[in-house]
Structure 1
């Protein structure tokens, strides 16, 4: 099955759209660009190869479908030594849970376990305690003037929660947070050479950190997930070095997944609230509306705007031919505003029926979704209960990314 070529005029138009996504204006509000991408069709050719999918229905089917695969280690090796897929950080990520396909994915997911009721209850106590302390600090800072909500709350809560669960020293939290921000570039849509270099260096440092942690827990096990993963992997893998590496990849994945997207979700949720003062009083009076507010935030501006898959065989997607191993980029940021799925999709409406792909779907549905939701619920309830309405001091700025959103600052003051 052949690959359809992209007419030069269409290619130039698509390149122009993605160039706009990389500007400060495009980072702050990518949705007009997404609307133009949707106008090109539910499925269109990407100028760099592969396909772009903007339809909610097709994106939903692909993330749930077994015929669509992760770009795993085999696929990345096939792309050639000079491509971004064979950068050291990309090769490292190919062994983490989100980049695995069955049967490897099934085996590792079973080893990872899940956030069961007891774990969520324990984490809930940590999240409540940490949130109270962070809101105390925010309140104190606001008494003197403005405060950066992102720095004081959103960046601190996820690392405190997952760090406490993993049993990591609090002194390590700031550096782990910095490394996570750099590491994510290898998972971007089109990372630059300088961004990949940052990701390569961060990944190498994270490997040293977590491999040392695994060796320490093996020598002195405790009541923590890393120690339990060691026991699980020892039963699965007779080679001690391979078992330790399996535990390392789980710990790395958990840290990266827990920090980056959750921090963005918390900041975006706070931004949605600050921009809509009528909802401040409404949520304070009716805290049962908090979950709907969080779900609508995840639809309206999800932490992840692009999910990538590859075709397991030759097939047709919409009316476009796809060949085996060809990549499709699910533009979920655009799909969440698909008018075929949501009426008046550009309107923020926490009372609408939830529907989003912020946590992906199918066998790759986000392992930490319950924890991320809990952090957002606890933070939002505490915020509206403890503080009067806040107002923006200045517009936020966004990190230079397309796939992984990150608000760098959320400067607020008492209204």
Structure 2
């Protein structure tokens, strides 16, 4: 089944395979060990409970040398915020202090201006015929937004985006050796980049998040080198979290609306439904299809025994189409009551969710106003992944 998921056909529409998996029950054994969870309520239960942990540094080291969990990129990720467990997770998350209502309002105008410029470029390309929406807009908006927020040079955006695409392989469900090698190389370059950034901001602090994190970490850690490393891991986390999944959300939301012309037409007349369109896109085909957790103690999950330190893979994209949760789950419906796990849940609920929503809503508002006759030229192709969806193109034109 997972081999089929990596084929072009499986990537284009993995949901029949998820339905096949879900028919085996809410919790099924994974052939490589651990369990796959497909029921919505069970996935939600795991994400909200503190009895289920992130695969942290300790857990990864215990898997033994030569496993994907001890690859350099995996070790590095184990020290970023999403892979921490309490109490470390608690105080690192507090130190981040990002994307509250005030900071989002400060970013709103910036996101709007960046979106407008990108759509100007799209308009010029559409005047000549078809255009790749993914390359011109979806890949550019997240890196420009987070790059502006962090105060990074514009000239670095393309490199950081490409490194992020390679780095994410270490977070995939079953990465190959060649994929891990790419991730290791990208991680090393990202470490060098952000370590130098922290050094520069310590020498010349400004009014930016990295400078503020340095000030906060200096109160938490007396050793300056350790404080700077803590800031580095925050900066790395923010970049990785902000780019890959948000780009996928932007393209997927646009794709789904263009594939459902009646919903698109309705949205052009009723732009107040843009937030609902974003939430339904997150349910229907979320950027992240799999979230993994580790069992803290022997317990039952959906009537299945899970041992301490066993991993469960929450198949959230399958859970989003659980008929026990949503009526007509295969229907893309802007009028559906939002309920999804795209941003995880519990103490690990995505810190960047407000920013991702802001970018997606801003884009759709401008898109339906400026390009009501936008149409899909051809079905896109997808990267051969399971956990992290990524469109490789989204070719559009004006009708």
Question: TM-score normalised to the size of structure 2?
Answer: 0.99
What does residue 123 of structure 1 align with?
Answer: 107
Q: Does 1:183 align with 2:167?
A: yes
- Name the CA distance, whole Å, in 2 between partners of 1:276 and 1:314: 45
Segments of 4+ moved more than 4 angstroms: none
Q: Using the TM superposition, give the Cα deviation of residue 392 of structure 1 relative to its aligned residue in structure 2, in angstroms.
A: 1.8
Please name the residue that 2:207 is paired with: 223
Query: Which residue of the partner structure matches residue 328 of structure 2?
Result: 344
Q: Give 1:90-105 correspondences, 5 Å limit.
A: 90-105=74-89
What is the CA–CA distance in structure 1 between the aligned matches of 2:377 and 2:308, rounded to whole Å?
A: 50
8 Å Cα contact 2:21/2:38 also seen in 1: yes
1:318-337 equivalences under 5 Å are 318-337=302-321
Please, which moves more after superposition, 385-394 or 106-115? 385-394
Check the 8 A contact 1:186/1:196 in 2, yes or no.
yes
Q: Could you tell me which of 223, 246, 258 is aligned with 1:274?
A: 258
Structure 1 partner of 2:176: 192
45, 67, 70: which one pairs with 1:61? 45
Residues 142-193 of structure 1: CA deviation (Å, up to 9, x unaligned): 0100000000000000001000000000000000000000000000000000
Question: Where does residue 71 of structure 1 map in the other structure?
Answer: 55
* Structure 2 CA distance for aligned equivalents of residues 276 and 41 of structure 1: 31
SS at match of 1:44: strand
Q: Which residue of 2 aligns with 1:12?
A: none
Which deviates more from structure 2 when the two are superposed, residues 283-292 or residues 136-145?
283-292
Q: Deviations over 1:75-106 (max 9, x none)?
A: 00000011000000000000000000000000
How far off is 1:274 after superposition? 1.2
Stretch deviating more after TM superposition (316-325 or 148-157): 316-325
Name the structure 1 match of 2:137: 153
Match of 1:249 in 2: 233
Q: 1:138 aligns with which of 113, 122, 126?
A: 122
> 1:13 aligns to what?
none
Alignment partner for residue 65 of structure 2, among 76, 81, 91?
Answer: 81
Q: Which moved more, 1:259-268 or 1:276-285?
A: 276-285
SS in 1 for 2:378: coil
* TM-score, normalising length: structure 1: 0.95
Inter-partner Cα distance in structure 1 for 2:237 and 2:97: 13
Q: Which runs of 5+ in 2 are unaligned?
A: none
Matched, 1:297 2:247: no
2:377 and 2:396 in contact (8 A); partners too: yes
RMSD value over aligned CA atoms? Answer: 0.7
1:114, distance to aligned residue in structure 2 (A): 2.7
SS of alignment partner, residue 381 of structure 2: coil
Distance in 2 of aligned mates of 1:280 and 1:122: 30
Deviations 1:185-228 (A, max 9, x none): 00000000000000000000000000000000000000000000
Does the 8 Å contact 1:274/1:389 carry over to 2?
no
Q: Which runs of 5+ in 1 are unaligned?
A: 1-16
CA distance in 2, matches of 1:42, 1:48: 18
For 1:354 and 1:117, locate their aligned partners in 2 and report how far apart those are by CA, in whole Å: 21
State the Cα distance separating 1:388 from its structure 2 match. Answer: 3.0
Q: Does residue 10 of structure 2 align to residue 26 of structure 1?
A: yes
Relative to structure 2, which stretch is displaced further, 222-231 or 286-295? 286-295
CA contact under 8 A between 1:42 and 1:53: conserved in structure 2? yes
Partners of 2:337 and 2:162 lie apart in 1 by 36
Asked if 1:207 is matched to 2:191, the reply is yes
CA contact (8 A) 1:269 1:297 kept: yes
Contact 1:280 1:389 in 2 (8 A): no
State the distance in 2 between where 1:59 and 1:235 align.
Answer: 37
Question: Displacement, 1:386?
Answer: 0.7
Question: 1:109: which partner in 2?
Answer: 93
